[in-house]
Structure 1
Amino acid sequence: MTYPTVIAVAAVSGGGKTTITKKLRERLSGSEALFFDAYEFEGAPEYITEWVEVGPDYQQWELDPLIEDIQSAQNASFLILDYPFSYKHEKVKPWIDYSVYIDTPLDIAMARRLLRDEVGPGVKEELTHYLHAGRNAYLEMLQSIKPDADLVVDGTLSVENIVEHIIKNLSSEHH
């Protein structure tokens, strides 16, 4: 049985994970993609900010549905995961061949998130929440996920440049 090369794409919320995952799926022939946000996981904390405040336990998340989908993707050449935890979850870690962290400045990520989520009149409340609690979740990503990545990409680059950079580095790593 052969498994695809599994590429995990991590970033803060609004950092470009989904966009880059979709673009990589288009560019890498024979690839498939899985999106973390498409799953309902047992053990997932109700409030991410509180989870981060008490010291995030990545093993708390029951990621078996994602692992099962990774295991069943045998016909793909590449499997791209839109997945925020990189190598932090011990049950997923062995399946990841290459981890990319998109290093997007927090102000840009927040602006993208506000535009994506169309918060409308709730912008003030969203920003207040970010300043008082949400920012810590972003900082957790910078402190825990980014240092473990095999490749850190500048999140201010264009989508095409980010994808090219990943493909170029992936080729040099795996050939």
Structure 2
Amino acid sequence: MVKTKVIAIASVSGGGKTTITKESRKRLKKSKALFFDEYDFEGAPDDLIQWVEEGPDYNQWDLEPLAADIDLLLEDEDPPAYIILDYPFSYQNDRLKNFIDLSIYIETPLDIAMARRLLRDYHNTTTFEVHNDLIFYMKFGRGAYLEMENTIKPNSDIIIDGASTVNEIVDTTLQNVRM
């Protein structure tokens, strides 16, 4: 029996985590995907900017619901060969780090990540709302993006160029997963 391999995909918001997780899931036989944003976590900070400014404590987040779902998949009678996590923290949370066999960081240039986020989140809004979000990003939000680059990126096993095409990123991801 082969052990299930757990792969964490991390990046800044708009960096491609969800897209790469979904595409990798399609191409890896017998795999499951779990998405961080689909959970509500106890202890999650109400103000992410303040959390970053105060020196983020990744263990503040009680990731038990996600850990429980990973446990269920691992304990299944016919477990998947791969569990792919759309998960921003790499090895930084003590509850999840021992599950992870490979952490991949998609290093997406911040201008590309911002453009993707605006296209994703603001397709039916006014330019005023986009304008306000950009002002907020420049005053406060950029620090959270830099936190990812300074903490999560160097803590990952593999760093992939997020300016590459989706197929190139998935190809590189799967080459590393299958090693």
Fold shared, TM-score > 0.5 on shorter chain: yes
Aligned to 2:136: 129
- Matched to 1:88, the amino acid is Q
Please identify runs of 4+ aligned residues in structure 1 that moved more than 4 A: none
Secondary structure of the corresponding residue to residue 32 of structure 1: strand
Quote the Cα distance in structure 1 between the aligned partners of 2:13 and 2:164.
17
Mapped partners of 1:115, 1:47: distance in 2:
23
The 1:38–1:3 alpha-carbon spacing in structure 2 relative to 1, beyond 3 Å, is farther
Checking the alignment, whether the CA contact within 8 Å between 1:3 and 1:73 is kept in structure 2 is: no
Residues 1:90 and 2:80 aligned together: no
AA aligned to 1:170 is: V
Deviation (angstroms), 1:2: 6.7
Q: Give the deviation of 1:78 after TM superposition.
A: 0.1
Asked if the contact 2:41–2:63 (Cα under 8 Å) also holds between the matched residues in 1, the reply is yes
Gaps of 5+ in 2: none
> C-alpha distance in 2, partners of 1:125/1:95?
39
Residue 34 of structure 2 is aligned to residue 16 of structure 1: no
Q: CA RMSD in A?
A: 1.2
Task: Tell me the CA shift for residue 170 of structure 1.
Answer: 2.0
C-alpha distance in 1 between matches for 2:97 and 2:158: 16
CA positional deviation for 1:169: 1.8
The two structures have a TM-score, normalised by structure 2, of 0.93
**Aligned match of 2:162 in 155, 159, 169?**
155
**CA distance, structure 1, for counterparts of residue 133 and residue 84 of structure 2:** 30
Percent identity (aligned)? 54
**Higher mean Cα deviation, 140-149 or 115-124?**
115-124
Residue in 1 aligned with 2:148?
141
Give the drift of 1:3. 4.9
SS class of match (2:9)? strand
In structure 2, distance between residues paired with 1:111 and 1:3: 39
Is the CA contact (8 Å cut-off) linking 1:3 and 1:71 kept in structure 2?
no
Residue 80 (structure 1) aligns with: 84
What is the distance in 1 between the residues matched to 2:119 and 2:149? 22
Helix, strand or coil at the partner of 2:140: helix
In structure 2, which of residues 85, 99, 106 is the aligned counterpart of residue 102 of structure 1?
Answer: 106
Residues 41/59 of structure 1: CA separation in 2 closer, same or farther (3 Å cut)? same
Is 2:169 aligned against 1:165? no
* Shift of residue 47, structure 1, vs aligned partner: 1.6
| Residue-pair matches, total | 172
Instruction: Name stretches of at least 5 consecutive residues in structure 1 with no aligned partner.
Output: none
Amino acid at match of 2:122: E
Question: Match for residue 4 of structure 1?
Answer: 4
Residues 87-133 of structure 1 deviation map (CA, whole Å, 9 limit, x = unaligned): 00011000000000000000000110011001622011000000010
Is residue 2–residue 81 contact of structure 2 (8 Å, CA) maintained in 1? no
Which has the larger displacement, 14-23 or 69-78? 69-78
